[in-house]
Structure 1
Amino acid sequence: MTAPTTLAAAAERAEAPAEPTAPEHPADLDGLRIDERVALRYADLPPQERKGADVLLEHFGDLATYSAAELASLAGVSKATMSRLFRNLGFEDFTQVREHLRRLRQHGLPVTLGATADLDAHVEAEGAAVQRAVAALGVHLDAVADLLAHAPRVVVVGLRNSYPVALHLRQQLTQVRPHVTLLPQPGQSWSEDVVDLGPQDAVVLVAFRRRPPGVRALAERLQAAGTPVVLLADPTARALAAHATWWVECPVQARGAFDSYAAASSVVAVLADAVLARRGRTGEQRVASIDSAYRTLGEVEAR
């Protein structure tokens, strides 16, 4: 009687629905962030691995600050389960996950890679970035400042994270010289404004990482038109720099999750000072006229 019973049990097990398992070799995961990989594979993951996946999503912003064992503990699963999850997401192990997160951070994604930096370390890192950026500007300062001081028309371009820096630079330059334009204007495209630019004009292209694809096309068009281009950008813009006349490299990598634009702001200040010096008496008179207008129109508080 034992054999039939065993055979019947085996038949029942064979008919029972199998627990879903993820394919051993995930496909189409290259180029996806880890959270996108989780979203793509979630429905195929076994229940225990789903618990691990939930923890990955919940802690995506500071994932690299945990160990694989700590993540397993948070999910209430074994370390072996987390290891299987990493493989099902296209990683060999958690070391590869950390490297993946590091690459995301290098491209500007706000991901915490370690414990929060202390203030002294932050100041030291910011100071080093400013020194590096100002040194990069110093190599081209005379040529760039001469161009921005005397070109009939200056156009400053910036999108996304680059826009505030571009806006600040335009505001500084327009105090010492006329005909400085900021692109794009809110809600507008830039094609109408750049189509007439030529060798006599000057463009400052502010293009920090996580740039839209159109920035490269713009740089190529300006190069083809013979328009001098000053590229203000971080080290990831090396390929873009091939289409610029001058490249001022400004580090933005910070010790925390978010990029820092302290170096870029310092470069703007140095550059604006140099342009003012080259505008001479004309620049000083414009500064005085604008200051008088500020007070007349009540745009700044009384001194």
Structure 2
Amino acid sequence: MNEGVVKIFQGARLTPTQRRIAHCLVEHDSKAAYLSAAEVAELAGVSQPSVTRFAMALGYSGYPALRRELRAVTADEPAEPAGQNAMQRAVHAETEHLRRLGEQLDRLEDVRAAAELLIASRPLPVLGLRAAAPLAAYFGYFAAKAFPDVRVLDGGGTSLLDRLDQARAAGAGAMLAIVLPRYPRETVEAVREAKAAGLAVVAITDSAVSPVAESADVVLPAAVGTQLVFDLHTGPMAMAMVLLQAMCDAAPEPVQRRLEEFEATAAQRHIFLA
């Protein structure tokens, strides 16, 4: 892998089609630097206009300008080392994200502040739409074992704000919002509505400067992987579980009681095989 080519795309928010193009250029860096836009399009399996839009999304005037940059970096840097394919590089990038997250957790003040806000909320709404919906459901599934009345808000539409209003009327004082690229407009608007209604907001998102950051009381950033066609959410999932651990640590006695009650019920009903 030519690191210079990878750096051209790092930090850019790209559509799945644009990621296919970036993946193709990284995979065939020395060759792609001398191909036309039409040839890159054929190699990546996309349209030629998509290649042009891709170059412009990276800040270039067009594909010729991007190609000049590709030629410069492939001429200056050594060839890709043997033994790593694109899938391995994506996974290795995730291990780097987790390493950085581990360093970030050297300071737990924000995580503990978020935990205190959330454990005081009855009910506890957990917002996650589109790509964030599975993570909201994952967090909600385990949180409900330790805390009463966890409400996962994973569907948009006209009922979303109704459900948020219902949670507030029932006594909710805080909300966890999981907000991942490409940042659904509906999610950001729901967070603003929650703030306007008086809820404190804890946000798990990919960056401290994501669109939801300005509306959140506590931001817990965790980078997402961007080297495949679709994002890898390993970091945000780890952050969600770290947050849930901090919530359990902040209320050990009631959490332990609820967990014991659940285990007794699970055994009585033969829910699990092991």
Counterpart of 2:232 in structure 1 is 260
Distance 1:94 1:168 in 2: 45
The residue type equivalent to 1:288 in the other structure is E
Counterpart of 1:147 in structure 2 is 117
Deviation at 1:292, TM superposition (A): 1.8
Residue aligned with 1:239, SS: coil
In structure 2, list runs of 5 or more residues that go unmatched.
Answer: 1-13, 43-47, 70-83
The residue type equivalent to 1:155 in the other structure is P
Residue by residue, what CA displacement relative to the aligned partner does 1:52-92 show, whole Å, maximum 9, x if unpaired?
Answer: xxxxxxx747442341534566899xxxxx9xx959x9743
Deviation at 1:122, TM superposition (A): 3.7
Question: In the alignment, is the contact (CA less than 8 A) between 1:232 and 1:247 conserved in 2?
Answer: yes
Counterpart of 1:131 in structure 2 is 102
Please report the TM-score for the alignment, with normalisation by the length of structure 1. 0.62
Distance 1:250 1:292 in 2: 35
Counterpart of 2:177 in structure 1 is 205
Range with bigger deviation, 191-200 or 174-183 = 191-200
Deviation at 1:149, TM superposition (A): 1.9
Counterpart of 1:64 in structure 2 is 25
Deviation at 1:257, TM superposition (A): 3.8
Distance 1:164 1:63 in 2: 29
Residue aligned with 1:175, SS: helix
Distance 1:253 1:131 in 2: 16
The residue type equivalent to 1:271 in the other structure is L
In structure 1, list runs of 5 or more residues that go unmatched.
Answer: 1-31, 37-58, 77-81, 100-113
Counterpart of 1:234 in structure 2 is 206
Counterpart of 1:170 in structure 2 is 140
Distance 1:165 1:177 in 2: 18
The residue type equivalent to 1:142 in the other structure is R
The residue type equivalent to 1:173 in the other structure is A
Distance 1:173 1:262 in 2: 19
Distance 1:167 1:260 in 2: 17
Residue aligned with 2:159, SS: coil
Question: In the alignment, is the contact (CA less than 8 A) between 2:124 and 2:150 conserved in 1?
Answer: yes
Distance 2:184 2:109 in 1: 28
Deviation at 1:167, TM superposition (A): 1.0
Flag the 1:152–1:62 CA change in 2: closer, same or farther, 3 A.
closer
Deviation at 1:206, TM superposition (A): 0.4
Flag the 1:236–1:249 CA change in 2: closer, same or farther, 3 A.
closer
Residue by residue, what CA displacement relative to the aligned partner does 1:133-184 show, whole Å, maximum 9, x if unpaired?
Answer: 6457x23122211222222221001011111111111112111110110003
1:14-53 to 2 correspondence within 5 Å? none
Residue aligned with 2:147, SS: coil
Distance 2:164 2:119 in 1: 20
Flag the 1:239–1:296 CA change in 2: closer, same or farther, 3 A.
same
CA RMSD in angstroms, aligned pairs only = 3.8
Counterpart of 2:73 in structure 1 is none
Matched, 1:214 2:186: yes
Distance 2:240 2:41 in 1: 47
The residue type equivalent to 2:34 in the other structure is A
Question: In the alignment, is the contact (CA less than 8 A) between 1:134 and 1:266 conserved in 2?
Answer: no
Distance 2:68 2:261 in 1: 55
Quick check: which has more Rg, 1 or 2?
1
Flag the 1:241–1:35 CA change in 2: closer, same or farther, 3 A.
closer
Residue aligned with 1:203, SS: strand
Flag the 1:187–1:132 CA change in 2: closer, same or farther, 3 A.
farther
Residue aligned with 2:195, SS: helix
Q: How many pairs were matched up? A: 226
Residue by residue, what CA displacement relative to the aligned partner does 1:5-45 show, whole Å, maximum 9, x if unpaired?
Answer: xxxxxxxxxxxxxxxxxxxxxxxxxxx98979xxxxxxxxx
Counterpart of 2:243 in structure 1 is 271
